[in-house]
Structure 1
Amino acid sequence: MVTEARSPLPGSIPRRGAAAQRACLLLLGLLGGLAAASAAHAAAPSPDPVAMQPIGARFEIDRTEVSIGAFRRHAEATGLVTQAERAGGGSTYEGGWQQRRGWTWRAPFGRPGDDDEPAVHLTQPEAAAYCRWAGKRLPTDAEWLEAAHVERRPAPPAGFATGTRYPFPTGSTPAGANCLDCAPAGRLAPAQTSRGRGHARVGSTAAGVNGLFDMGANVWEWVDSGPGDEAVTRGGSWWYGPAQMHHDHRQTKPRDTAVVYIGFRCARSLP
């Protein structure tokens, strides 16, 4: 007699199959959780909103100077009180260095600054700390010079040529920069000083070499280079004429300098 093999009833699962299914469901749940966590991490906004521009294959650099709005995120997240704030104000040069009460990164000229003004009255270590917080770093002097003066875009717009070294961050001439002797450029935040028109709001002047803004003039920029207690600043500022924008002009200042016309931007190495 032939015995008919019994098939499991619909919806029933053999014991071994049920255990395997439970293990499979557990694994799927774990993988789903990991995927969700990964997606949430990828979607999390960067603490630093400044757009970056690749310079060749080695590094990228902020397209604009770090703004008051961007620096405020850092200060609020870390509880930072800057050197100028602790001292009661930063400094400006009026026939000699003079402290200005209430002049800080929050109020560059003694009045509350707008979020799109460059962050100034910051020491070089304070600038470096912001860049680290943002997952970046200050550019080296060599990186800053390359970004400011050597066109690396493969297809730059008219007026720039790939591989060309320019004397000014704006190109062949200083035109378009916010410097003392240049034509008015950008949307200015008026200065309360005896000289100059004040800084322009970030990204409001003409883009220069590599599509970067204000590598020449507007505010000096700290870099991660310099001997001992001194650090290099590059680019000139609204206080100075075009000579300070030139590629061969370099200044050093004490790292703890916090003044009205020094700001910064960040860089990051590319993999």
Structure 2
Amino acid sequence: MPTVPPRRTPGPGLDFVELPGGEFLMGDPFDEGYPDDGERPVHRVVLAPFALAATTVTNADFAAFVAATGHRTDAERYGSSAVFHLALRAPRRDVRGQAPRTPWWLEVAGADWAHPGGRDSSWQERPDHPVVHVSWDDALAFCRWSGTRLPTEAEWEYAARAGHRGRRYPWGDELTPDGRDLCNIWHGAFPHRNTLSDGYLTTAPVGAFPPNDVGLYEMSGNVWEWCADWFSPAYYRRSPRHNPLGPRSGQARVIRGGSYLCHDSYCNRYRLAARSANTPDSSTGNCGFRVVRDRAPAIVTPTSSTTTTPAC
């Protein structure tokens, strides 16, 4: 894989990085992930060429999609979505409850992609930030409109590693080399005090942090990113070597990359090998997506929906 950003080609409001495909080692070489996430064994994967968006889809990108199609997101149809407690911008009466095991998540009436903190917020205040409060199903609808698709989990990790073998993070093995914050994650005592040393309490504008060595931004932190695959912690033990697509069925879809809420005291899933999952109709204030443009016909995956399980 090249070690300098290759030529980018324009897409539907997005820039794409052409990736050559090839073989890489997928999984956690340090054996430091959560056992239930199934980050091991490390295994060889061979991928066909593809083009991945340099950034996640932004609020402005998603607004163009909504204007063109009239799409209503799952959060809008359900009437609420999950908002981090310090990001709430709505009357307290809009709070319908808290997640039982993760009480920093509030279920907020009127929270959706256009109102990320609740009714008193607007996407127009941050058009260049990642769109959030979008479900897997919403992301798939955007892909159908834009002629793109979601990356497979293997494609996501291959692109994030950018040709480097066995790294923890896109830039190396140290989280803050020379004291520099190179991604948007939680700094301080989670979940009540954030030092804001990286500049952001919640999302950062796309491209706010340095790209990896092929020109992809925020592959660690900022927002979780939906992948095409169903999730199974046992999948790596039987994953095919060539272009794996994930299990044939499941209850939740893979999410990758971590978010602004990840902290090693609770969730160190901003590592390149880290995996998590959520149900396809779920939406939260820290999950978005980026898209792939194929050289061959797009990969088609089945759909499903179950219950909400917010990630960190």
TM-score (normalised: structure 2): 0.61
Please say if 1:85 is aligned against 2:76.
yes
Q: Which residue of 2 aligns with 1:112?
A: 122
Report how many aligned residue pairs link the two structures.
Answer: 206
Post-superposition Cα deviations, 1:160-199, rounded to whole Å, max 9, x if no partner, equal xxx544221343333410011397336x4xxxxxxxx111
Please say if 1:75 is aligned against 2:66.
yes
Q: Which residue of 2 aligns with 1:19?
A: none
- Equivalent of residue 262 in structure 1, options 277, 284, 287: 287
SS at match of 1:173: coil
SS at match of 2:229: coil
Please say if 1:249 is aligned against 2:277.
no
SS at match of 2:109: coil
Deviation, structure 1 residue 209: 3.8
Is contact 2:169-2:220 (8 Å) kept?
A: yes
Q: 1:167 to 1:133 in 2, by over 3 A?
A: same
Q: Which residue of 2 aligns with 1:185?
A: 198
- Equivalent of residue 198 in structure 1, options 176, 180, 202: 202
Query: CA–CA distance in 2 between the matches of 1:69 and 1:261?
Result: 17
Deviation, structure 1 residue 72: 0.6
- Write the letter of the residue equivalent to 2:216: L
Higher helix share: 1
Query: CA–CA distance in 2 between the matches of 1:59 and 1:90?
Result: 33
Please say if 1:149 is aligned against 2:113.
no
Query: CA–CA distance in 2 between the matches of 1:209 and 1:173?
Result: 16
- Write the letter of the residue equivalent to 1:68: N
Q: Which residue of 2 aligns with 1:130?
A: 142
Deviation, structure 1 residue 247: 2.5
Please say if 1:167 is aligned against 2:171.
no
Gaps of at least 5 residues in structure 2 are 1-9, 22-48, 86-101, 177-181, 189-195, 232-249, 297-312
Find the structure with the greater CA-based Rg.
Answer: 1
Deviation, structure 1 residue 246: 1.3
Is contact 1:150-1:166 (8 Å) kept?
A: no
Is contact 2:224-2:289 (8 Å) kept?
A: yes
Deviation, structure 1 residue 93: 5.4
SS at match of 2:293: strand
Is contact 1:170-1:177 (8 Å) kept?
A: no
1:24-35 equivalent positions in 2, closer than 5 A: none
Deviation, structure 1 residue 269: 2.1
Query: CA–CA distance in 1 between the matches of 2:69 and 2:218?
Result: 28
- Write the letter of the residue equivalent to 1:144: W
Gaps of at least 5 residues in structure 1 are 1-44, 152-162, 189-196
Q: CA RMSD in A?
A: 2.1
Q: Which residue of 2 aligns with 1:237?
A: 259
Larger deviation, residues 235-244 vs 140-149: 235-244
Is contact 1:138-1:267 (8 Å) kept?
A: yes
Q: 1:171 to 1:270 in 2, by over 3 A?
A: farther
Q: Which residue of 2 aligns with 1:50?
A: 14
Q: Which residue of 2 aligns with 1:34?
A: none
Query: CA–CA distance in 2 between the matches of 1:173 and 1:209?
Result: 16
Query: CA–CA distance in 1 between the matches of 2:212 and 2:111?
Result: 30
Q: 1:99 to 1:85 in 2, by over 3 A?
A: same
- Write the letter of the residue equivalent to 2:286: Y
